[in-house]
Amino acid sequence: MLTLVRQAFAGRYEVEREIGKGGNARIFLAREPGGQPVALKILHPELLVSVAADRFLREIKLASQLDHPLITHLLDSGERDWLVYYVMTYVEGATLRELLSSRGRLSTADTLRVADNLLDALEHAHGHGIIHRDVKPENVVISPQGAILLDFGIARAVWASGSDRLTRSGIAVGTSTYMSPEQITALEEIDLRSDIYSLACVLFECLAGQPPFVHKNEAVVLQLHLTQPAPDLRTIRPEVPAELAAGIARALTKTPAERWQTAGAMRDALAAVLVG
């Protein structure tokens, strides 16, 4: 695959190596002609069976309007030699998944800083009408600048460009561990409160060392998101401040109307815990 990608992008990007694989794409470290590193992402060929490439590329361009220091920028997108690709700014640092894998869980202070950064990024994107749809530890990089959210607009572009086979057959775009109830039921329209639920799942894991719902069977995890209340964080980690546990619990309610209604409102509430 590396040789194929190098050949396809010869003269446009110098492709160094493959650095990861996500649900939608394989990721390569590449360099622009001036030497600037970028993350070159190649959409999985099997996904193109259900996704119209031209519409995906139109949809993904919506993300280019986002300009926030804690959101990676969409730099380029297109199709070369049958490879559908998009290019994002490259961020040096470990992903939140890697950090949790090595540490098990984060301190309350570190979790609050991650929350503040990500909620600020979400507020900016939501203000432009863009929902992430796939907030998870793998899509967060912990850098010297803070916690940076990756791949904004990608999950929506996949959903919006999908055929009936993708969008009407019960296939939900997202990651089951962090998926909101409304995503699981494959509603045609979800709003910003879905991202708030997904982020709350991430923050729960940062503090508890495990997501709210865990089971070896993915279908069971999805059912738990739909039917069971999230566990009380303080039964797993008693030293978590009550206000923080309550703030995350509110974001994890099944009904969107009962959650924080904006990322900014949740950020402000959790910021008071940090100050306190």
Residues 147, 117 contacting (CB under 8 angstroms): yes
Alpha helices in the chain (DSSP H): 2-8, 53-60, 96-103, 108-127, 154-160, 164-167, 181-184, 192-208, 218-227, 233-236, 242-251, 263-275
Q: What phi-psi label fits residue 35: left (phi over 0), alpha (psi between -120 and 50 degrees) or beta?
A: left
**What SS3 state is found at 130?**
coil
Catalytic pick among 116, 120, 134, 195 = 134
Active-site residue, 134 included: yes
Q: Do residues 40 and 9 make contact, with C-beta atoms less than 8 angstroms apart?
A: yes
Given strand 74-80, what is the order of strands in its sheet?
14-21, 25-31, 37-43, 83-89, 74-80
> What is the C-alpha separation between 198 and 270, in angstroms, rounded?
16
Active site residues: 134
